[in-house]
Amino acid sequence: MIHRVLIGGMAALALAGPAGATENTLADRLTSAEPEAGEQIFKHCRACHTIEQGGAHGNGPNLWGVVGRPVASAEGFGKYSDALRAIGGDWTPERLDAFLTDPHEDIEGTRMPFVGLDRPRARADLIAYLNRNSPAPLDLTIGAKKDAVLVEDEPPEFGVLFVAGGVEETHAYCTACHSERLVAQQGLDRDGWVELIEWMVDEQGMAEIEEPDLGIVLDYLTANYNIDRPNFPNR
């Protein structure tokens, strides 16, 4: 498998065999993490979390200042699982990295119904973004090797969703609670999709998708999953 790696800022191709480096340490990844890219990744979280200071709790707690915050400590969020309450300590970058990779594997019994993010650099970008939304951001570069060879992520995958403009946003927002297959098996006109998304907000606790993303998602769904079901998944 071929991975693009960045060496001292220069792109090069490297072969990553079984013995090849396919993942950097978190400290290495954080030195080059981009909060702006992390803001895009946060679309995977927006269905359930606000991040703004004083933002409302949704299905999940408000995440302002979560990096370095004691676990399960958001004031006024009454829905923490016993599993999360029991673990103690603070949300260090390391613990966030493990939790966000696969919440259920990391903390058995967590109530966070999110499948996880398997792209290591995307997680580092996301943690940098979370860290920026804080009254006291941590210095995330401590302990990093300056000469680290940074391995790029595999491109994101969208499962059975048809790859076209808007697939990235749609995948992020619409796989927060269930598989993308449920989306791909549906065929609706634009009004139908508007109604379905309203139902997700009113009955399933999904936070409203804000513009311009709402328009992007609706355009994508209407173009690719209309009543004639042009992309019904056959596999």
59 touching ligand HEC, by CB under 6 A:
yes
Q: Which is nearer to ligand HEC, 23 or 90 (CB)?
A: 90
- Cβ proximity to ligand HEC: between 68 and 148 the closer is 68
CA angle 12, 15, 18 (to 5 degrees): 145
d(CA 206, CA 45): 10
CB contact at 8 A, 13 and 141: no
d(CA 66, CA 182): 31
What tokens appear for 70 in the block?
A: 């004691």
Q: Is 220 in the site for ligand HEC (CB under 6 A)?
A: no
162-174 b/e (C-beta count within 10 Å ≥ 16 → b)? beeebbbbbbbbb
166 makes contact with ligand HEC (CB under 6 A): no
Chain center to CA of 37: 11
Q: Does 66 bind ligand HEC (CB under 6 A)?
A: yes
Q: Which is nearer to ligand HEC, 5 or 66 (CB)?
A: 66
How far apart CA 199 and CA 202 sit, in angstroms, is 5
Q: Does 95 bind ligand HEC (CB under 6 A)?
A: no
Please identify, using beta-carbon distances, which residue of 32 and 68 lies nearer to ligand HEC. Answer: 68
Residue 145 beta carbon to ligand HEC: minimum distance, rounded to whole angstroms: 26
- Does 122 help bind ligand HEC (rule: CB under 6 A)? no
Q: Are the C-beta atoms of 152 and 22 separated by less than 8 Å?
A: no
Rule CB under 6 A: say whether 120 interacts with ligand HEC: no
For position 140 contacting ligand HEC by CB under 6 A, the verdict is no
Q: Is 61 in the site for ligand HEC (CB under 6 A)?
A: yes
The reply on whether position 91 binds ligand HEC by CB under 6 A is yes
Q: Which of 5, 26, 33, 84 binds ligand HEC (CB under 6 A)?
A: 84
Residues that bind ligand HEC (CB under 6 A): 44-45, 47-49, 59-61, 63, 66, 71-74, 80-81, 83-84, 91, 96, 100, 110-114, 117, 126, 173-174, 176-178, 182-183, 186, 196-197, 200, 204-206, 217
